[in-house]
Structure 1
Amino acid sequence: FGTTFGQMVRIGSNVTIVHGVTIAGKNKCFPVIGDNVYIGCGACILGDITIGNNAIIGANAVVTKSVPDNGVVVGNPSKIISLKGSWRYQKNIWEFNR
């Protein structure tokens, strides 16, 4: 249930990463994670993609395409379900985890 990071992954500030997450790329192409991002348990973020600021990656989502700022992504393969309101979800998650 560990979390795995590739060598060159870049992670912004105030990012929450839960257990069982994989963030990796290959051939010098690695993900960039923005600020204030929540990544749910078991999620996989793969390839040369960017996760925008204030995004939420749902549990067990497999993300292989970039996610815009404030994007909420779920599923395998991942699908954007919202481009607004993610800050409210994050606020609730952070308040719950205090």
Structure 2
Amino acid sequence: MGVFAKDTFHYFGSEGVEFGRLLGDFGYRYVFYLRMCQTGGLRKLIFTLPRKHLSRKCGLEISPSTQIGEGFYIGHPYGITVNAGAKLGRNVNIHKGCTIGQENRGHRKGVPTIGDRVYLGINSTVAGNVAIGNDVFIASNTFVNQDIPNHSIVIGNPCKVIKTVNATEGYIINLV
């Protein structure tokens, strides 16, 4: 199963490309264009223009050079920024207004590394050279600028970490 087939499974629970949904769901369509651009060659040439068009239409700033694991999900695909140097693991869900950004000075200078099974709620921000563990739920409007351990819920600004087993259960489905 290819990377986009795994993304499709994460979205809908099925492996085949959902052409009807490809037309109607901007998040799914953007992930399709992004994956096609990541393959390089002729596909990159063909899908760069539609990806850029959808980027401008929805305010999505996610570079094809960004390392993104299988099962990537964009919910409410508007106003999302992911730094090109960031690394995202498998089964990452990202939502409207999220920023995964770089810090340019200090001891957190750099970009985040996001683990597997991470849910980023609406308007959440992860900034700097921080590591987000596996099975982490980042609540809406949360600002994260510190390392987050596995199996955690993160809320607020400054962020508060609550250790929780199965933190993303029910929020991230159809794992690949």
Who is 1:33 aligned against?
A: 114
How far residue 29 of structure 1 moved from its aligned partner, in angstroms, is 1.0
| Pair 1:59-2:140 in alignment | yes
1:12-51 to structure 2, matched below 5 A, reads 12-27=89-104, 29-51=110-132
Task: Give the TM-score, by structure 1 length.
Answer: 0.86
Task: Give the TM-score, by structure 2 length.
Answer: 0.49
Q: Is the 8 A contact 2:120 2:139 kept in 1?
A: yes
Q: Please, which of 84, 93, 112 is the counterpart of residue 7 of structure 1? A: 84
Shift >6 Å, 4+ stretches:
none
Instruction: Give aligned-pair identity as a percent.
Output: 34
Deviates more, 1:26-35 or 1:47-56: 26-35
Who is 1:75 aligned against?
A: 156
Larger Rg: 2
CA RMSD of aligned residues (A): 1.5
Gaps of 5+ in 1: none
Name the aligned partner's letter for residue 46 of structure 1. Answer: A
Name the aligned partner's letter for residue 85 of structure 2. Answer: M
Gaps of 5+ in 2: 1-77
Where is the helix percentage greater, Structure 1 or Structure 2?
2
Q: Which has the higher contact order (CA 8 A, sep 6+)?
A: 1
Tell me the distance in 1 between the aligned counterparts of 2:155 and 2:100: 16
Tell me the distance in 1 between the aligned counterparts of 2:82 and 2:129: 14
